[in-house]
């Protein structure tokens, strides 16, 4: 199967399996797992920050950050279509009593003036305080779009001006860095907290990191326990995560090249358009005129290709370590014959 459903389907590499088997472990809730400690130090250093915390999922990392930066009854501003708004089970409200305020964010770039208007250091009239802006980079449902560093810096200044925090949902920040050459410490410097995923393009089986200053990460450890995310001999997961950080970032350019080739091939098929344009990174959305996406997904499946219908006429393809050039060829050939039938 050529599985384009998501980069979350990537499997741990043989080197990761080996490292899991040999990992030194301890009880990480007691903070004595040496492998977790190494992972956290290495991650903090990569971003030029003081500390990092290993968390079971990206969603938990984002939710811990929200809990730390805002209080129950307050508002959190974020871009429309963002993961923390649409894809985290309403956790801002359910776990932390926060109200989400979606802002226009073309290509994932949260509108600077809209952010200035939404962020509010204290309640005003009957409006609650809004002390946190969450920015997603790359932006998943805006087609893996890269939010450029200068745009993040502009949002950072607005947050400073409005006494609000900036949290970067960097589930695929590695892809943004690979596509633009932006050094990771530049991202570290622009946000109060960052969440990065190890379990997507970097192929680790499980886990994400929440990164920031020492004080924030200490408080994050308590919230992680509150949310049920304290883990015991979790060095077995930190070991492959260390390999992900050290060895897997360099290959993301291959995923981007395959996404570009897939997009170019899709564009040549009649009745197919790319509503979000050519991909910046590893995510391609294709729109199909005159043929339901569900039918095309079924045709792909019969040809050993998997992808997700994200709407009645759109399909999302994500490239990753588990799909090669032959996967791209198979997807294009299957769609071409399905559309011709
Ligand atoms: C995948 C993802 C997350 C976190 O997902 P988990 O499945 O909880 O690890 C957060 N933000 C974005 C943009 C994502 O794509």
C-alpha 83 to ligand 1 mean position (Å): 7
- Count of alpha carbons within 13 angstroms of residue 310, beta-carbon side: 20
Sort 172 into a burial class: Cβ within 10 Å, 0-12 / 13-18 / 19+. buried
Residue located nearest, by CA, to atom 2 of ligand 1:
171
Which pairing describes strands 130-136 and 165-170: parallel, antiparallel, or unpaired? parallel
C-alpha 271 to ligand 1 mean position (Å): 31
| pLDDT at res. 11 | 97
| pLDDT at res. 60 | 98
Distance CA 290, CA 272 (A): 10
**Edge-to-edge strands of the sheet including 308-311?**
272-273, 283-288, 314-318, 308-311
C-alpha 113 to ligand 1 mean position (Å): 27
Nearest atom within ligand 1 for CA of residue 82: 13
The pick from 60, 61, 64, 140 for probing ligand 1's pocket by mutation, whose C-beta has the most ligand atoms within 8 angstroms, reads: 140
| pLDDT at res. 341 | 84
Ligand 1 pocket: which residues have CB below 6 Å? 57-59, 62, 83, 136, 140, 169, 171, 197, 208
As given in the structure block, the two tokens for residue 92 are: 């801002």
Nearest atom within ligand 1 for CA of residue 60: 8
CATH of 251-340 given 3.30.2320.80, 3.90.1150.10, 3.40.50.2000, 3.40.1190.20: 3.90.1150.10
| pLDDT at res. 144 | 97
Q: Is it true that 8-247 and 251-340 share their CATH fold?
A: no
Q: What is the CATH number of domain 8-247?
A: 3.40.640.10
Residue located nearest, by CA, to atom 3 of ligand 1:
58
The pick from 56, 141, 171 for probing ligand 1's pocket by mutation, whose C-beta has the most ligand atoms within 8 angstroms, reads: 171
The tens place of each residue's pLDDT in the chain, 341 residues long, gives: 999 999 999 999 999 999 999 999 999 999 999 999 999 999 999 999 999 999 999 999 999 999 999 999 999 999 999 999 999 999 999 999 999 999 999 999 999 999 999 999 999 999 999 999 999 999 999 999 999 999 999 999 999 999 999 999 999 999 999 999 999 999 999 999 999 999 999 999 999 999 999 999 999 999 999 999 999 999 999 999 999 999 999 999 999 999 999 999 999 999 999 999 999 999 999 999 979 999 999 999 999 999 999 999 999 999 999 999 999 999 999 999 999 98
Write down the domain spans for the chain. 8-247, 251-340
| pLDDT at res. 290 | 79
């Amino acid at each position: 199967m050529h599985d384009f459903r998501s980069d979350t389907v990537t499997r741990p590499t043989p080197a990761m399996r080996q490292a899991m088997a040999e990992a030194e472990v301890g009880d990480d809730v007691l903070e004595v797992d040496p492998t977790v400690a190494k992972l956290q130090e290495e991650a903090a250093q990569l971003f030029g920050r003081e500390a990092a915390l290993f968390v079971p999922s990206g969603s938990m990392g984002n939710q811990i950050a929200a809990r730390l930066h805002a209080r129950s009854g307050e508002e959190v501003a974020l871009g429309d279509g963002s993961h923390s708004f649409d894809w985290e089970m309403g956790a801002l409200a359910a776990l932390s009593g926060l109200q989400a305020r979606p802002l226009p964010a073309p290509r994932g770039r949260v509108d600077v003036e809209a952010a200035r208007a939404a962020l509010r250091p204290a309640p005003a009239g009957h409006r609650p305080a809004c002390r946190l802006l969450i920015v997603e980079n790359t932006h998943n449902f805006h087609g893996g779009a890269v939010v450029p560093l200068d745009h993040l810096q502009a949002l950072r200044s607005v947050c400073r001006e409005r006494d609000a925090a900036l949290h970067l949902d960097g589930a695929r920040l590695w892809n943004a860095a690979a596509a633009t050459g932006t050094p990771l410490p530049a991202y570290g410097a622009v946000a109060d907290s960052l969440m990065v995923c190890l379990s997507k393009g970097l192929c680790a089986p499980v886990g994400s990191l929440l990164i920031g200053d020492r004080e924030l990460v200490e408080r994050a450890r308590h919230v992680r326990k509150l949310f049920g995310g304290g883990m015991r001999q979790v060095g077995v997961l930190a070991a492959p995560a260390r390999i992900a950080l050290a060895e897997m970032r360099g290959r993301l350019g291959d995923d981007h090249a395959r996404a570009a080739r897939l997009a170019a091939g899709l564009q040549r098929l009649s009745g197919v358009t790319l509503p979000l344009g050519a991909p910046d990174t590893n995510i391609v959305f294709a729109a199909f005129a005159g043929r339901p996406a569900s039918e095309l997904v079924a045709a792909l499946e019969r040809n050993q290709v998997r992808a997700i219908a994200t709407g009645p006429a759109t399909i999302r393809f994500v490239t990753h370590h588990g799909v090669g050039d032959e996967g791209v060829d198979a997807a294009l050939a299957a769609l071409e014959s399905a559309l011709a039938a």
